[in-house]
Amino acid sequence: MALLAEFNIYPSINIEDLVTCEGPEFNPPPPLQIKPCVTRLVRTPKPTSTSKIIPKIPIAEKVDMIHSDDIIATKEGHIDHSARVMRVITWNRSFKGMPYANDGRDDFDNDEWETHATVLDKMLAWEKKLYDEVKAGELMKIEYQRKVSLLNKQKKRGANPETIEKIKAAVSHLHTRYIVDMQSMDSTVSEIQHLRDDQLYPRLVDLVDGMGKMWEAMFFHHDSQLKVVIDLRVIDISNAPKETSEHHYGRTVQLYEVAKEWQSQFQKIVSHQKEYIQALNSWLKLNLIPIESSLKEKVSSPPRVHHPPIQALLYAWNDMLEKLPDDLAKSAISSFSAVINTIILMQQEELKLKDKCEETQREYARKLRAFEDWHHKYSQRRAAASAEGEIENTEMANTKDPVTERKFLVDSLKTKLDDDVEAYQKACKQVREKTLGSLKTHLPELFRAMSDFSMTSSDMYKKLKAISEVRNLEPTS
C-alpha cells in the first residue's frame, strides 16, 4: 500500500499473494471451485519420479487422458490403477530462481520448490479427477443394480439358461470394474491426503508465522506513529505559511487518494483472509467425510486419519478471524479519509476567494490607472478653459463634477477589494485552524485503532502458531 511506504511501514509478506480474491491481481485457485465431493482418507506409497519421460501436457489434459485410458483398460479386466495414476500425473512447474534448472536433474518430486499457490492448484486437479471418478462410479453402480434387477426378473420368469448366463457375466464384469475403479479412487484420495497433510498444512503454518511477523511489525510502526501524532498537539505553527498554495492543495488531494486506497486495501486484506480460511474449512469438512459404497466388494483401503493436524489449525483460525475486531480500524481509516476530503473542500473555497481577490486587485489597478490618466488630462483641459473667461467658469460651476463621479467608482472598487481581502484572510485562518484541529483529533484516533488491531492480529497468529506446534508434536489419530 502506498500509505504504508509514506509512513515507513514495510510488511514482511504480501498477504495478497496468499489469499483468494476476485480480480487479476491475486487469484490462487480456491480449494473448492468444483462440485462438492466426499473422500475416503487412505494412504498410498510415494509416487516414483518420472518427470524425465512425461511430455509437457497441461495438468487438466493429463487427468483426462488418465481417466479415459483407465476406462478402456478396465474393459480388459486388469490394470494397476495406483501405480499408473501415481506414475503419470506429475507437476509441470517453472520455478523462479531454481538452481540447476537446466542441468537434467530430477527435482520435481522435491516439495521444497512448491509454493502455496501451486499446492492448491495440484489439489484442485486431483479433486477434479476424484469428482469424475465418483461420478463414473455412481453411474456404474446404477448400471450394476439395473443388471442385477434384470437377472432376478429373468430367474423368476424361468428364462433359458443361456440368457441367464449372459446376464450373470455382465453383472460380474460390472462388479469387477467397480472394484477396480474403487481402487483407483483410493489412490486419488491418498494423493489428496498427502497434498493436504504434507504440503498444504506446512505452508499454512508458514503463512501463520509470516502473518504474525507482519502484524508485529505493523504494530511497532503504528505505535511509533501514534506517539508522533500525539506530540503534534503541542506543535508551534506560528511561523508556518498561513495560506493554502496550489502545491499544498495538490499534496492534500494526494493524501486523500492514498487514504482511500489504504481503506480499500485494508478491507481486502481482512475480507480475503476470512474468505480463504472459510473456503478451506468448507473443503476440509467434505474432505473428512468417507466415500460410502453399497456394493459388497472387497476393497482394502488404509484407515483414514480422523483428526489431521490441519483440522485443528483451520477450525481455530476460522473461529479467531470471525471474532477479530476489525470494525474500529475500518471506521478510523474511513473517518480519516472523510476528514481529508473536508479539508480539500475548505481549501478549494479558500483558493476560490484567493482568485477572486486577485481578479478584483487587477480590475482596481486597471481602473485606477485609467482614472489617473483621465484626471491628468482633464485637469489640463480645465486649466486651459478657466483662462478664457468668467462665463465659462460659471458654466462649469453649474455642471456636475466628473472627477467626483469617476473617483467614486474607483473608491467603490477599492472598498470591494478590501472586503474580498478580509474574507480571504478570514477563510485562511479558519482553514488553518480547522485543518490543524482535525488532524490533532483524528490522527491519534486513526493510529491508536490501527495499533490496537495490529496487536490483536499479532496475538491471534501467535496463538495459531502455538496450536500448530502442539499439533505437530501429537501423533495423528
Torsion of CA 176, 179, 181, 187, to 10 degrees: -140
Q: Tell me the pTM.
A: 0.65
- Tell whether 299 is covered by a domain: yes
Whether 11 and 4 have beta carbons less than 8 Å apart is answered as yes
The confidence score (pLDDT) of residue 452 equals 96
The confidence score (pLDDT) of residue 443 equals 93
Q: Which residues of the chain have pLDDT under 70?
A: 1-112, 238-241, 291-306, 387-400, 471-477
- Tell whether 422 is covered by a domain: no
- Tell whether 178 is covered by a domain: yes
- Tell whether 33 is covered by a domain: yes
Hey, is 430 helix, strand or coil? Answer: helix
User: What is the distance between the alpha carbons of residues 424 and 406, in angstroms, rounded to a whole number?
Assistant: 27
The total number of structural domains in the chain stands at 1
Q: Which distant-in-sequence residues (6+ apart) come within 8 Å of 80 by Cβ?
A: none
- Tell whether 375 is covered by a domain: no
Please choose, from the candidates 268, 452, 255, 229, the residue with its C-alpha nearest in 3D space to the C-alpha of residue 344.
255
The residue with cell 495560506 is 243
Where do runs of H (alpha helix) occur along 326-389?
Answer: 327-386
The confidence score (pLDDT) of residue 17 equals 38
- Tell whether 465 is covered by a domain: yes
- DSSP characters over 404-415: HHHHHHHHHHHH
- Tell whether 380 is covered by a domain: no
Please choose, from the candidates 15, 320, 461, the residue with its C-alpha nearest in 3D space to the C-alpha of residue 469.
461
The confidence score (pLDDT) of residue 397 equals 53
The confidence score (pLDDT) of residue 32 equals 39
- DSSP characters over 86-110: HHH-------TT-TTTTS----TT-
User: What is the distance between the alpha carbons of residues 143 and 163, in angstroms, rounded to a whole number?
Assistant: 18
Q: For residue 291, report the phi and psi dihedrals to the nearest 5 degrees.
A: -80, 130
Q: At what angle do helices 402-473 and 201-231 cross, to 10 degrees?
A: 140
Structural domain containing residue 188: 2-92+112-352+433-473
Count CB atoms within 10 A of the CB of residue 244: 22
The confidence score (pLDDT) of residue 294 equals 55
Q: Indicate the DSSP class of residue 272.
A: H
The confidence score (pLDDT) of residue 25 equals 41
- Tell whether 323 is covered by a domain: yes
Count CB atoms within 10 A of the CB of residue 237: 11
